[in-house]
Structures are given as structure tokens and as C-alpha cells.
């Protein structure tokens, strides 16, 4: 059996472990401040995908609850929001479809599915909780806000790569437990923490985050500004 592991692989896993510890620490901090308004807890999912090879570099499905909590945990749509982003890689965030786009999305996942109950509605905001539950259960998607996608590049300077190496990545974040707008706000809060974690874990790596697609939506653009989220992160 060959136990040889490249230096690049060792460094990669070390940085991911560091990122994970920092993301969890950040989550524990913000949850500590929010637990009064989240008595039933919350759920979030954070993923980083390597777009060059299609592999998931990092995944963290967080379920945060008070120590004494038992029974129902809020935030059950976090995974559906993440699944929506993964099933439809061209959307920058969840909750942006009109009704025609939703019907098309349903049929692209399950052709022949009877979507007549959805077709009777004019706007996705008219979907009841029961219809959202059906979407999540039968199709694995949702129209709720609270999921964002941020493509980014990771620029490494190293003699091993002949100077520089650029990797193409994508961060996906979903959150569920509060109102839709507050869920979206938490996505950007978590993303800002992820940016800081990446910078701390790899201070010599330059990151460029492409926020252009998210900025097309005024509510997202506003949150990017207010959170102080930047496109370039380096030492």
C-alpha cells in the first residue's frame, strides 16, 4: 500500500481544517447573540466546491440549538435552499424565480410532475407553507430566500507551480429559521465570516470573490454593502 501523500494535499487539508474551526467558532459566536430570538435553534449549510474538478472541498451542515432544547428544531429549509442552488447552478440566490420559472424548474427536476396546483398561482409569494413543503419533499427545491452562491478564485504564489496557480471555486451558503429577509441577511453574515476564515487560514493566498451576479438584486447588494463584504481578500 502506498502511503505517499503530496505536500499540496497535506497543505490543502490543513487549511480546510483551519477554515472549519474558524467557521464553527464564528457560528457559535453569532448564535450566542441570537439565541434569544431563536428558541428553537436554526440550521445553516456552508459548502465550497472546486469548479475545476467538481469536488466538494468543504461541507458543514450546522444545526445550532440551545443546550436544553429537545424536539422540533427550526430551520428545516436550509438543506432545500442548498439543494436548489446545486440543482440550478446558474442562479445566484434562491427566492428569485417568477412563477413560470418555478414551473420550468419543477419539470426540469421531475418531468411529468403534476404542477397544476402551482400553475394556478400568479406569484411565488402566494405559495402556502403546505406548497413549500410539497416542493421540498417532492422536488427538493424551494422558492424561499436564504441561499446564496459566490464564485471565487484562489491565487497561490509558489515556485512549485512555476510562479502562480489559479483555482476556481464556489461558495454556497444557506440559512433557515427566521423571516426570508433575515435568512438572507444571515447568509451574508456567514459568508463574511467565511471570507475572514479563508484569509486567516491562508494569509499568503489571494482571493477574488465575484459578487456581480448577487449585486443584480437590490436587497442582496444592500446587504453586501452593509456587511462590508469585499471582492478582493489578501494579506
CA distance 123 to 97: 9
- pLDDT digit string (tens) for 117-156? 999 999 999 999 999 999 999 999 999 999 999 999 999 8
100 and 138 part of one domain:
yes
132 and 197 part of one domain:
no
The x, y and z cell numbers of residue 75, run together, are: 430551520
Residue 9 lies in a domain: no
Residues of the chain with pLDDT under 50: 1-3, 5-7, 10
Instruction: Show the domain range for 184.
Output: 17-95+144-233
Q: What is the pLDDT of residue 1?
A: 42
Distant-in-sequence, close-in-space partners of 29: CB < 8 Å, separation ≥ 6: none
Q: Which of 143, 161, 179 is the last residue of a domain?
A: 143
Residue 2 lies in a domain: no
Residue 29 lies in a domain: yes
| Three-class DSSP category at 34 | helix
173 and 60 part of one domain:
yes
Q: What is the pLDDT of residue 18?
A: 87
Per the CB < 8 A criterion, the answer to whether 45 and 173 are in contact is yes
Q: What is the pLDDT of residue 72?
A: 80
31 and 128 part of one domain:
no
52 and 165 part of one domain:
yes
209 and 177 part of one domain:
yes
Number of domains in the chain: 2
Q: What is the CATH number of the domain that holds 59?
A: 3.30.450
Please, is 195 exposed, middle or buried when counting C-beta atoms within 10 Å of its C-beta (0-12, 13-18, 19+)? buried
CA distance 55 to 169: 10
Q: Given the C-alpha cell 424548474, which residue does it identify?
A: 105
155 and 222 part of one domain:
yes
Amino acid at each position: 500500500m502506498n502511503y505517499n501523500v503530496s505536500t499540496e494535499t497535506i497543505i490543502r487539508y490543513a487549511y480546510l481544517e483551519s477554515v472549519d474551526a474558524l467557521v464553527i467558532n464564528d457560528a457559535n459566536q453569532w448564535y450566542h447573540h441570537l439565541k434569544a430570538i431563536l428558541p428553537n435553534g436554526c440550521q445553516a449549510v456552508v459548502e465550497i466546491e472546486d469548479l475545476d474538478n467538481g469536488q466538494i472541498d468543504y461541507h458543514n451542515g450546522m444545526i445550532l440549538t440551545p443546550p436544553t432544547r429537545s424536539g422540533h428544531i427550526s430551520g428545516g429549509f436550509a438543506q432545500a435552499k442548498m439543494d436548489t442552488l446545486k440543482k440550478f447552478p446558474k442562479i445566484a440566490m434562491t427566492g428569485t424565480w417568477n412563477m413560470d420559472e418555478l414551473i420550468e424548474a419543477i419539470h426540469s427536476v421531475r418531468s411529468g410532475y403534476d404542477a397544476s396546483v402551482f400553475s394556478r398561482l400568479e406569484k411565488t409569494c402566494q405559495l402556502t407553507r403546505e406548497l413549500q413543503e410539497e416542493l421540498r419533499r417532492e422536488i427538493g427545491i424551494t422558492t424561499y430566500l436564504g441561499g446564496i452562491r459566490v464564485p471565487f478564485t484562489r491565487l497561490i504564489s509558489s515556485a512549485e507551480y512555476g510562479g502562480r496557480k489559479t483555482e476556481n471555486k464556489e461558495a454556497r451558503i444557506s440559512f433557515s429559521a427566521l423571516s426570508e429577509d433575515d435568512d438572507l441577511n444571515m447568509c451574508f453574515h456567514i459568508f463574511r465570516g467565511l471570507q475572514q476564515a479563508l484569509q486567516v487560514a491562508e494569509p499568503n493566498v489571494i482571493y477574488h470573490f465575484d459578487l456581480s451576479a448577487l449585486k443584480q438584486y437590490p436587497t442582496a447588494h444592500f446587504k453586501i454593502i452593509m456587511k462590508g463584504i469585499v471582492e478582493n481578500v489578501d494579506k
